[in-house]
Amino acid sequence: MGFKPSNLATPAFVFKFVELVFVFIVFMIFRCGASGDIFYWGIGPYPTPAPTPTASSTITTTPTTTTTTTPSEAKQSKANISDANSQALTQNSVPAQGNTSDSSVKKKNEKMDKNPTYNDVYKMSERAENDLVFGIMTSAGYFYITIILMVGIVLGDNARMSLFLFNLFGFLFFIAIGSEQIDIAGHHSQGKHTANGMGAMAILTSFVFLVDTVFVVRDLASNKE
């Protein structure tokens, strides 16, 4: 077993090269399909209103003190209060400073007007999480597996049974995740066409694995004879 240039022209290597291209396209749609960000397998996270904190009410008691004043002291205090009021009216009024809390709330409201989901919390259902995990495992996992199999074929590896199992499950995995993506494409408020294209590309990739499986089965049958 070793490298031979003729191994690059074998049907097994050609199929693996085509599969690598298709899997790479599916993986890149997943990784950069949402304007450079991840386009989720499945329905993805959905916004839910953030819980509003409940204000805790506290009751404070202050001790009361009673004081006794004489009539002369009461007249003197009233005179002091009237003098202070007259001085306050004659002075120029000082403009009140702006409320920083009001300004911050105003900015937040402006952001919420532009983006209604600004104050939302994004969550994922259990099915959405399963779709995401299975989609990542299929697209990213088979991209790596296909490269390993290509290197083995170039070096003269002839593990037909391993190729058969990888191709068979590649067909099952990609047709499953592609069908699921197309089925839930209507739930996407944005990127419905991207979801349909992502699912269709995954199904096309599954057909490539299916054809490769047929060729491997034919080789296995001919070797037994």
Between 224 and 168, name the one with better pLDDT: 168
Neighbour count for residue 44 (Cβ, 10 Å): 21
pLDDT band at residue 97 under the 50/70/90 scheme:
very low
Q: Is 46 helix (H, G, I), strand (E, B) or coil?
A: strand
CA 168 vs CA 116, 161, 182: distances in Å: 45, 10, 22
What would the pLDDT profile of 120-168 be if each residue is shown by its tens digit?
A: 677 888 888 999 999 999 999 999 999 999 999 998 888 889 999 999 9
Host H or E run for residue 123: strand 120-123
Between 123 and 182, name the one with better pLDDT: 182
- Taking the C-alpha atoms of residue 156 and residue 178, their distance in angstroms, rounded to an integer, is 33
Domain ranges of the chain: 5-44+123-224
Q: Which of 16-25, 106-115, 133-142, 158-167 has the lowest mean pLDDT?
A: 106-115
Question: Is the pLDDT reported for residue 71 higher than 70?
Answer: no
Predicted TM-score (pTM) of this structure: 0.66
Q: What is the pLDDT of residue 30?
A: 92
Question: Is the pLDDT reported for residue 77 higher than 80?
Answer: no
pLDDT band at residue 103 under the 50/70/90 scheme:
very low
DSSP 10: S
Contact present, 186 and 137 (Cβ < 8 Å): no
pLDDT band at residue 225 under the 50/70/90 scheme:
low
Host H or E run for residue 47: strand 46-49
Q: What is the pLDDT of residue 163?
A: 92
Q: Is 106 helix (H, G, I), strand (E, B) or coil?
A: helix
- Taking the C-alpha atoms of residue 107 and residue 1, their distance in angstroms, rounded to an integer, is 69
Q: Pull the structure tokens for residue 48.
A: 């839910």
